[in-house]
Amino acid sequence: MSYFEFIATYLPKLLQGTVNTGLVMLGATLLAISVSLVFGLMRLSRSRVSQVLATIYIEFFRGTSLLVQLYWVYYVLPLMGVSFTAMTSGILALGLNFGAYGAEIFRGSVQAVPRAQWEAALALNMSPMLRMRRIIIPQTFPILLPPAANLTVELLKATALVALISVVDLMFVAKQINATTWMSAQAFGTALLVYYAMARFVLTPFLRWLEVLAARKMGQDQGS
Amino acid sequence: MQWRWDFTFEILPRMLWATGNTLLAALIGYAIALVVGLIFLLLQQTRFRPVNIITREIVEFIRSTPLLVQLFFVYFVAPQFGLTLSAWTSAMITIGLHFGTYMSEVYRGGLNAVPKGQWEACRALNMGPVRTYFRVILPQALPVALPGMGNYLIGIFKDTPMLATIGVAELMHTANALGAETYRYLEPYTMVGFIFLMISLPTAAGLRKLEAAVARAQGKIKR
């Protein structure tokens, strides 16, 4: 079987896997962003309790391995009466894990906003909420986006792990094809190429565009 | 399902034995990654431009594809070319290559942080390349590269559970086996998480101490 025949035969399956990988990626990204915002703000909070809680969360999720968390959500939580589908478990574990890393990036970027901006907002008698929303967070974007872009590519790569809890993603499809045909080079090689194309030609250009957009917005805001 | 302490202690010896394998895999993988990183770095800075460009693309490819897929690729594809690799060998090759690409970036960051004037000064003082590197450049590049190098040690450690999927008998593999034997998954999987936490937190703290010590030795006061 030539490589073209291989692709022609397995294209529908590979496409289905790619779509599922994209879905897991999307769900996990949205969850991770929310988690980073909540725990990043908690770490910045003046309340000692929320600082400690956020630190425990972040250290816990960064200190234990993602695969362990994934297995725990999928195999152990149902024993306690909480069960999710494989896809939901995958999104949950990925989102919670990467949210912990994202929280640290978000915290760092808020702290990197110049002190004078906080003082100016205070001088203008802005409420803490308004100050955060209108002054501080918009200025974190140019600082936060480059490390966040790295993390997003890491997240895409990490989605391959959900194949191990039987989500039919790209990796799962590759494993399936390998198990039935033993054409390992074609199966896993194609998966590698698709992951590479997604990271290099979809995700990275999109994130670069966001960076440019954020930089431009900042420039305009400062100008007006 | 209730937590059973008697079961926990019953499986503890096997879990600890597997922890040894996990640590061994992480350390060997790290040692290979350190060397591979250096090779990737040097291959990107040769005088022959096509070699630099091709290496750059290979590094980019390895960096943007999942370790898990690479692991399966190496483990299953090598036999197709008549080269049967054991699970351990495949695992060490894959981890070495994957994290070697990250390591080369860390090295590069460290070297780029050394001001150009330092190289020129060495040239002006007529120092040989060996002395330039060991007495002037590396002592200044190391503190910059150290945090990244430390993070990837922990990164490799936390990625070792993936090796269970091709049959390396580390922690996750043992937890899976224990679960299958006893139908109890609560204790083995929770213990794996706990053991990981107990190793990675002190290691991270130790690395921060080391970075501070190196910075102090360099005469830079941190914080």
Q: What is the mean pLDDT of chain A?
A: 93
Q: Name residue B67's amino acid.
A: L
Of A71, A161, A204, the CB nearest to B68: A161
Whether B194 has a pLDDT exceeding 60, the answer reads: yes
Q: Is A29:A152 a contact under the CB 8 Å cutoff? A: yes
pLDDT of residue B107: 95
Q: Is B140:B204 a contact under the CB 8 Å cutoff? A: no
Put simply, the answer to whether B197 touches A67 (Cβ < 8 Å) is no
pLDDT tens digit sequence for B11-27: 999 999 999 999 999 99
What residue of B is the nearest CA neighbor of A59?
B201
**Does B222 fall in a domain?**
no
Put simply, the answer to whether A76 touches B158 (Cβ < 8 Å) is no
**For residues B213-223, average pLDDT:** 71
Nearest to A40 by CA among A25, A18, A57: A57
**Does B223 fall in a domain?**
no
**Does B11 fall in a domain?**
yes
Torsional sign, CA B63, B67, B72, B75: positive
pLDDT of residue A177: 94
Of A64, A153, A189, the CB nearest to B73: A189
- Cβ contacts of residue B194 below 8 Å, gap of 6+? A64
Distance CA B131, CA B134 (A): 5
pLDDT of residue A161: 96
Task: For residue A219, count other CB atoms closer than 10 A to its CB.
Answer: 10
- Cβ contacts of residue B213 below 8 Å, gap of 6+? none
Q: Report the gap between the CA of A222 and the closest CA in chain B (Å).
A: 31
**What is the dihedral angle through the alpha carbons of A111, A112, A116, A119, rounded to the nearest 10 degrees?**
-20
CATH code for the domain in which residue B204 is found: 1.10.3720.10
Q: What is the mean pLDDT of chain B?
A: 92
Put simply, the answer to whether B65 touches A196 (Cβ < 8 Å) is yes
pLDDT of residue A224: 43
Interface residues from chain B to A (CB-CB < 8 Å): 1, 60-61, 64-70, 72-73, 76-77, 79-80, 158-162, 165, 172, 175, 179, 185-186, 189-190, 192-194, 196-197, 200-201, 204
Q: Report the gap between the CA of B42 and the closest CA in chain A (Å).
A: 24
pLDDT tens digit sequence for B152-178: 999 999 999 999 999 999 999 999 999
Tell me which chain B residues have a C-beta less than 8 angstroms from the C-beta of A159.
66
Tell me which chain B residues have a C-beta less than 8 angstroms from the C-beta of A199.
64-65
Of B66, B77, B186, the CB nearest to A171: B66
Confidence class of residue B221 from pLDDT cuts 50, 70 and 90?
Answer: low
For B166, which DSSP code? G
Put simply, the answer to whether A159 touches B160 (Cβ < 8 Å) is no
What residue of B is the nearest CA neighbor of A157?
B66
**Does B115 fall in a domain?**
yes
Whether A73 has a pLDDT exceeding 90, the answer reads: yes
pLDDT of residue A14: 94
Torsional sign, CA B173, B175, B177, B183: negative
Burial of B108 (0-12, 13-18, 19+ CB in 10 A): middle
**Does B92 fall in a domain?**
yes
Classified as helix, coil or strand, A99 is helix
**For residues A135-160, average pLDDT:** 94
When scoring A21, A58, A64, A152 by the number of chain B Cβ atoms within 10 A, the one with the most, hence best to mutate, is: A64
Tell me which chain B residues have a C-beta less than 8 angstroms from the C-beta of A67.
161-162, 172
pLDDT of residue A220: 59
**What is the dihedral angle through the alpha carbons of B159, B165, B168, B173, rounded to the nearest 10 degrees?**
90
Boundaries of domain holding B54:
5-217
**Does B60 fall in a domain?**
yes
pLDDT of residue B29: 97
- Taken in order of first residue, the domains within chain A and their CATH numbers are 3-223 (1.10.3720.10)
Put simply, the answer to whether B172 touches A68 (Cβ < 8 Å) is yes
Torsional sign, CA B78, A172, B27, B65: positive
Residue B113 main-chain phi, psi, to 5 deg: -75, -15
Given the structure tokens 């790619």, which residue do they identify?
A18
Tell me which chain B residues have a C-beta less than 8 angstroms from the C-beta of A60.
197
Question: Is residue A66 within 8 angstroms of chain B, CB to CB?
Answer: yes
- Cβ contacts of residue B6 below 8 Å, gap of 6+? none
pLDDT of residue A32: 97
Tell me which chain B residues have a C-beta less than 8 angstroms from the C-beta of A200.
60, 64
HSE-up (13 A, CA, CB side) for residue A195: 35
pLDDT of residue A12: 93
Establish, for the pair of chains A and B, how many residue pairs have beta carbons separated by less than 8 Å.
111
Whether A223 has a pLDDT exceeding 70, the answer reads: no
Whether A126 has a pLDDT exceeding 80, the answer reads: yes
**For residues A34-49, average pLDDT:** 95
What residue of A is the nearest CA neighbor of B154?
A63
Given the structure tokens 């690395």, which residue do they identify?
B207
Distance CA B208, CA B214 (A): 10
**For residues B48-59, average pLDDT:** 94
Put simply, the answer to whether B64 touches A158 (Cβ < 8 Å) is no
**For residues A57-69, average pLDDT:** 94
Distance CA A15, CA A56 (A): 40
Q: What tokens were used for B115?
A: 């001001």
Q: Is B74:B90 a contact under the CB 8 Å cutoff? A: yes
**For residues B82-93, average pLDDT:** 92
pLDDT tens digit sequence for B90-121: 999 999 999 999 999 999 999 999 999 999 99
- Cβ contacts of residue B176 below 8 Å, gap of 6+? B164, B188
Specify the number of domains making up chain B.
Answer: 1
Put simply, the answer to whether A195 touches B65 (Cβ < 8 Å) is yes
Nearest to B148 by CA among B222, B91, B97, B207: B207
Tell me, rounded to whole angstroms, the distance of Cα A134 from its chain centroid.
25
